[in-house]
Amino acid sequence: MAVDDTPTGDGGAVRRTRLAGERTQLAWWRTGLTAIAVGVGIGRIVPELDTTATEWPYVALGLGYALYGAGMIGYGVMRGRSVEEAVSRGGFSRLAPSVAVGLAVSGVVLGVLTCVAILLG
């Protein structure tokens, strides 16, 4: 049975769902790349600007942001594949929310640690 690919048929809905999944995956990638850029800024550039500060906390915080960014990109890829497989079989994506919750908690922790570094720096 062929899928109706007209804008008003089921195929249009499938196409829109695939494109929405693609946009969402790219949003995860953008967020991940931004976190990696922040990690480079905090871990490598900030210690160069303030030579009197202790370097290791900034390096550790920068590494945390870089790992967080890599996790965001990885989750985006996993989520994108899950949505694509679900659309192909005509069902729903069954990705466990625990990874997304872990990333959200990690983001909050990194934000708090950044505030602490700013206050103590």
Q: How high is the pLDDT of residue 8? A: 53
Q: How high is the pLDDT of residue 1? A: 39
Mean pLDDT, rounded, for 107-118: 92
Count Cβ atoms below 10 Å from residue 72 Cβ, excluding itself.
24
Q: What is the amino acid identity at position 112?
A: V
pLDDT at 4 over 60: no
106 within 8 A of 71, measured Cβ to Cβ: yes
Higher pLDDT, 42 or 99: 42
Q: How high is the pLDDT of residue 17? A: 85
Q: What is the amino acid identity at position 100?
A: A
pLDDT at 113 over 50: yes
- Of the candidates 69, 7, 12, which has an alpha carbon nearest to the alpha carbon of residue 41? 69
Q: What is the amino acid identity at position 12?
A: G
pTM for this prediction: 0.81
Q: How high is the pLDDT of residue 121? A: 72
Question: What is the C-alpha end-to-end distance of the chain, expressed in Å?
Answer: 65
Chain mean position to CA 102: 11
